[in-house]
A = this chain, B = another copy of it.
Amino acid sequence: MPDMRPYSAYDSDTCSIARTLALIGDRWTLLVLRDVANGVRRFDELAGHLGIARNILASRLARLTEAGLVERAAYREPGARERHEYRLSGPGRELMPVLVAFMAWGDRNLAGPEGPPAVVRHAGCGGAIRVSLSCDEGHELGERPRLRVEPGPGSKVRSLRLARAGRRA
């Protein structure tokens, strides 16, 4: 494992977005997860489909496995030796809203006039999937919601707003 140093650079504060990005926020990792979620599970398939360098793919898969987002599962095809493939684990599948949200944004903002290049459906019923924000007062938030961020229970620093206001104190 060559470049497995702690990915604790650029965590501005203890923000969950920064922490998550430190784990999966590089150029390839989300595409690897997208492919694994889509059933592309084997090293050479992933390398071929993504066009990623093999050493980079190996290091990304090692990181994802170590972090528990994908699992390495043994399989054996008739007349071949045992090999391994990669599958999403539970925490990996919890990233689906991230992938769907990326896809929805791209569909709205970057797709050509023909429409979105792919559609996600509920595996159970075949209904088209959408991602939405709602609040626990029961409001459905629209496409361009207005949000506010506050420090939470695990906050170690003052909120952005407070930090900003106090900068010259």
Contact = CB atoms under 8 A, between A and B. Distances in A.
Interface in A125-151: 125-139, 141, 143-151
A119 B159 CA distance: 10
Nearest to A108: B94
Nearest to A25: B27
Given A12-B50, A16-B118, A133 B135 contact: no
Contact of A118 (B133, B141, B150): B150
Given A141-B129, A145-B122, A154 B114 contact: yes
A117 interface: yes
Contacts of A84: none
A125 B141 CA distance: 11
A66 B49 CA distance: 30
Contact of A125 (B21, B28, B114, B135): B135
Contacts of A117: 13-16, 151-152, 154-156
Given A50-B10, A103-B17, A128-B136, A150 B119 contact: yes
Nearest to A38: B160
Q: Which of A17, A18, A115, A119 is packed against the most chain B CB atoms within 10 Å?
A: A17
Interface of A: 10, 12-21, 23, 25-28, 30-31, 34-35, 37-40, 45, 49-52, 90-91, 93-112, 114-139, 141, 143-156, 159-161, 163-164
Given A17-B34, A91-B108, A132-B132, 7 more contacts: A16-B116, A17-B99, A37-B147, A101-B131, A119-B149, A129-B134, A130-B134
